[in-house]
């Protein structure tokens, strides 16, 4: 690690010092900077170092952090752990009356010697824009800033309004482009509207329409886009920065029962027939139609009454065997699944085996999630964390485990990378193993292929099966 020259209780790695210097240099002449770093490189601690430097120079007195709800407590803990400057930290949560009181008190706060840091979730932020503007933050940090990728959402528009009222902005994300290059405009509109101008100018500069349905990026403008992104943003990958132990990938083939495979094929042909006969084939409706197939390979379908029905035990049995072999080696393991019926089935399997586990998924309270994480971290008898893919991907450090099993996946490479990097990040000392349970001759294979090749699953299906895209 390099020598630390800032007011935080930690030495920074040399690449973190590089990021700190970059952000401070950009903010000295502009209003916004982006840390486009791989997961696990310490975006939070770099941000705290930036805050420290600006506070020491009396350039900021109030900071607003906007982040997913699951990261609010993480920011509070990280600030408590690393901040070596006087501060007051407030999380805006609770009832409407409590939120209003916290926001009112924060707006009235006036102590130049103690930095005020307020954190609020994206969901709450859009309901309190007026109050947040009255709070008058000197600096806004947008954690997981790709949440602003869609310019049309109320969430993005509210963040733009807040950004316009603040002197400094910092955007943190490892996945600034989740779908296509259009994602970048809204994030940079928050940071500095002068970089890309208005959306119409941005669209006309970088895109064109192919036929009647598809918007395409102008390949000859790739370098121009990169130059604009990196004019106020810095991108680093783990392989450039860290001497992490290795990571291996293992595909566990799963053969569905003959009766289940027969039903799967019937569903598949129904979907294909829908594509080719009476449907407008587009990436969006292809993914919608494939959702049921993806649920099926995990062992469940939803009937006409909305109930989850078991259709296969093949993947669950494969998971059982894999967990037995890992358990013999006394390792901790994270099991990732996409759908709630799968998560419930996995938990029942572990209970039947007598394996102590913790859980982390969307419909349980934030307090219960934190309790589960603490148990997984601290209890040597808690060997498994059962986690929902969409929930566990943000901000968590799970390096107590070196093995991760993907029971099922979404269609997003970003979701996959976020989850994998919960274990493969700073602090990991063991070689990591990543397992994929893949039902043979099913959509599972196409999903894994698309993720591995960073390719749109919808377009992979169009190309693979020769579908013709119809105009609207």
Instruction: Give the tens place of pLDDT for each residue, 395-435.
Output: 688 999 999 999 998 887 878 888 888 898 888 889 899 99
Query: CA–CA separation, 218 vs 231, rounded Å?
Result: 20
Fold agreement between 14-241 and 247-464: yes
Residue of 31, 32, 35, 10 lying closest to 20 (CA atoms): 35
Which CATH fold would you assign to the domain 14-241?
Rossmann fold (3.40.50)
**Where in the chain are the domains?**
14-241, 247-464
Which CATH fold would you assign to the domain 247-464?
Rossmann fold (3.40.50)
Tell me the torsion sign for CA atoms 191, 196, 197, 199: negative
pLDDT for 463: 63
Indicate if the pLDDT at residue 278 is higher than 60: no
| Least confident segment among 58-67, 92-101, 132-141, 366-375 | 366-375
pLDDT band at 331 (very low <50, low <70, confident <90, very high): confident
Residue of 24, 107, 118 lying closest to 63 (CA atoms): 118
Mean pLDDT along residues 20-38? 95
Which regions of 38-108 does DSSP assign to beta strands (E)?
A: 62-67, 87-91
Query: CA–CA separation, 37 vs 380, rounded Å?
Result: 32
Pair type for strands 308-310 and 357-360 = unpaired
Mean pLDDT along residues 219-223? 93
pLDDT band at 327 (very low <50, low <70, confident <90, very high): confident
Query: Coil, strand or helix: which one is 236?
Result: strand
Query: CA–CA separation, 323 vs 347, rounded Å?
Result: 12
Report the length, in residues, of the chain: 472
Please report, to the nearest 10 degrees, the dihedral formed by the alpha carbons of residues 403, 409, 410, 414 taken in order: 30
Tokens 């929902």 found at = 388
Mean pLDDT along residues 364-392? 90
Query: CA–CA separation, 142 vs 65, rounded Å?
Result: 6
| Contact between residue 253 and residue 438 where contact means Cβ atoms under 8 Å apart | yes
Calculate what percentage of the chain has a pLDDT beyond 70.
90
Query: CA–CA separation, 66 vs 143, rounded Å?
Result: 6
> What b/e sequence results for 74-100 when a residue is b if at least 16 CB atoms lie within 10 Å of its CB, and e otherwise?
bbbebbeebbebebebbbbbeeeeebe
Indicate if the pLDDT at residue 274 is higher than 90: no
Query: CA–CA separation, 218 vs 442, rounded Å?
Result: 34
């Amino acid at each position: 690690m390099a020598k630390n020259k800032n007011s935080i209780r930690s030495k920074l790695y040399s690449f973190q010092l590089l990021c700190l210097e970059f952000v401070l240099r950009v903010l000295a002449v502009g209003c916004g900077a982006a840390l486009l770093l791989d997961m696990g490189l310490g975006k939070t601690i770099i941000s705290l170092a930036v805050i420290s430097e600006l506070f020491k120079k009396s350039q900021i007195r109030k900071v607003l952090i906007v982040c997913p709800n699951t990261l609010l407590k993480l920011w509070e803990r990280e600030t408590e752990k690393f901040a070596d400057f006087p501060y007051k930290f407030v999380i805006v949560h609770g009832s409407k009356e409590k939120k209003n009181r916290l926001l009112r008190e924060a707006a009235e706060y006036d102590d130049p010697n103690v930095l005020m840091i307020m954190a609020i979730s994206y969901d709450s932020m859009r309901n309190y824009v007026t109050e947040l503007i009255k709070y008058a933050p000197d600096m806004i940090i947008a954690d997981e800033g790709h949440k602003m990728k869609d310019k049309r959402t109320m969430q993005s528009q509210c963040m733009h309004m807040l950004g316009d009222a603040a002197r400094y902005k910092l955007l943190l994300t490892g996945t600034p482009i989740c779908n296509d290059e259009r994602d970048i405009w809204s994030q940079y509109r928050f940071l500095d509207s002068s970089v890309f101008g208005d959306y119409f100018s941005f669209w006309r500069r970088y895109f064109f329409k192919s036929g009647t349905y598809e918007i395409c990026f102008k390949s000859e403008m790739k370098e121009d886009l990169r130059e604009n992104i990196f004019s106020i943003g810095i991108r680093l990958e783990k392989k450039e920065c860290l001497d992490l132990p290795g990571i291996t990938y293992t595909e566990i083939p799963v053969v569905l029962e003959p009766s289940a495979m027969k039903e799967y094929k019937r569903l598949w042909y129904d979907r294909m027939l829908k594509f080719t006969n009476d449907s407008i084939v587009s990436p969006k409706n292809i993914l919608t139609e494939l959702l049921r197939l993806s649920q099926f390979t995990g062992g469940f379908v939803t009937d006409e009454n909305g109930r989850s029905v078991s259709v296969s035990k093949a993947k669950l049995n494969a998971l059982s065997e894999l967990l037995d072999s890992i358990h013999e080696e006394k390792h901790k393991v994270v099991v990732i699944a996409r759908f709630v019926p799968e998560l419930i089935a996995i938990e029942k399997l572990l209970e039947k085996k007598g394996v102590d586990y913790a859980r982390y998924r969307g419909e349980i309270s934030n307090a219960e999630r934190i309790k589960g994480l603490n148990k997984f971290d601290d209890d040597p008898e808690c060997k498994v964390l059962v986690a929902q893919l969409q929930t566990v991907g943000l901000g968590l450090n799970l390096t107590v485990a070196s093995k991760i099993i993907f029971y099922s996946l979404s269609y997003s490479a970003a979701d996959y990378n976020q989850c994998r990097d919960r274990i493969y990040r700073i602090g990991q000392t063991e070689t990591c193993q990543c397992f994929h349970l893949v039902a043979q001759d099913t959509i599972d294979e196409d999903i894994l292929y698309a993720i591995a090749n960073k390719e749109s699953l919808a377009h992979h299906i169009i190309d693979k099966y020769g579908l013709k895209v119809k105009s609207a």
